[in-house]
Amino acid sequence: MWAYLNGQILKEDQAFISPLDRGFTFGDGVYEVIPCYAGKLFLFEDHLKRLQTSLEKTFIPFTDDIQNLDKILLELQKRNKFLNQSFYIQVTRGTDVVRSHQAEKNLKPTVFITSQELQENPFRINPNKKGIKVRLEEDIRWHRCDIKTIALMGNTMTLHDPSKPSVDEIFFHKDGMISEGSKSNIFVFYKGQVFTPSLRQNILPGITRSYIIKEMQKNNIEVIESEINLEKLLASEEVWVSSSNKQVQPVSKINEYILPIKEPKDSMWYKVLEFF
């Protein structure tokens, strides 16, 4: 597999980064994930804008790599050959001479990009497939989830807790209100209406989330961005998640609560899946 590192495209096993890179020592960096279908980047401009926003909010300067990101990704797409690919772009503040909380002045950011085959959504292949399993967790993460930072310990730690049952996704909640998944945004179909947590609730502004909202509105389906309490979540007719790599995937179980089973043709999540 080929990767990109600081101006060069090279084999992944030849891509070396200093252990004093601030991404390694402090998690001091941001990332973006961009899907590519049949050689075409999906919602590229939206993803690029979010990456630039993350860089601005963390005071990491833009580089020529970011300005030419589409060309780099398409070159990697050709070299790695998969028809559908998922690109991971990571930008850190750079490499210090010594580890220090205060970064040295004029550091050059480290830009690393890799790709992997993007498997077809299993719920597109088999809409009758049982939905994903979810566990509820109190949200104890930091209060800047609007930044797509590489420091994701709060998102990944609980998935590795051997004392808890294995699930596909974690839904975070705070003060009784659902916020987002550990790696996805959340939609709820309740009493004939679609709800999703608003961006005011300390969640990542998902590119796929935004795309779904716009497409639903084009199709005269109202989407209400508001607080969703745990009672509403557990009384919902349908729940599904969205992300750049997942597209749309239904939920079948939340903790011990099993959601009602519907035929895909009668399900709102399946209508949304048709937007992709």
Regarding beta strands 132-138 and 257-258, do their DSSP bridges make them parallel or antiparallel, or are they unpaired?
Answer: unpaired
> Which CA distances in Å does 236 have to 97, 168, 272?
54, 19, 17
Can you name the CATH fold of 2-119? D-amino Acid Aminotransferase; Chain A, domain 1 (3.30.470)
Point out the residues that are catalytic: 148
| CATH of region 124-273 | 3.20.10.10
Considering the entire predicted model, what is its pTM? 0.93
Structural domain boundaries in the chain: 2-119, 124-273
Q: What is the pLDDT of residues 215-254, one digit of tens each?
A: 999 999 999 999 999 999 999 999 999 999 999 999 999 9
- pLDDT tens figures, 105-153: 889 999 999 999 999 999 999 999 999 999 999 999 888 989 999 999 9
Structure tokens at 239: 């729940």
Pairing of strands 29-37, 40-41: antiparallel
List pLDDT tens digits, range 13-55.
Answer: 999 999 999 999 999 999 999 999 999 999 999 999 999 999 9
DSSP 8-state code for residue 95:
B
Find the angle CA(201)-CA(188)-CA(172) to the nearest 5 degrees. 45
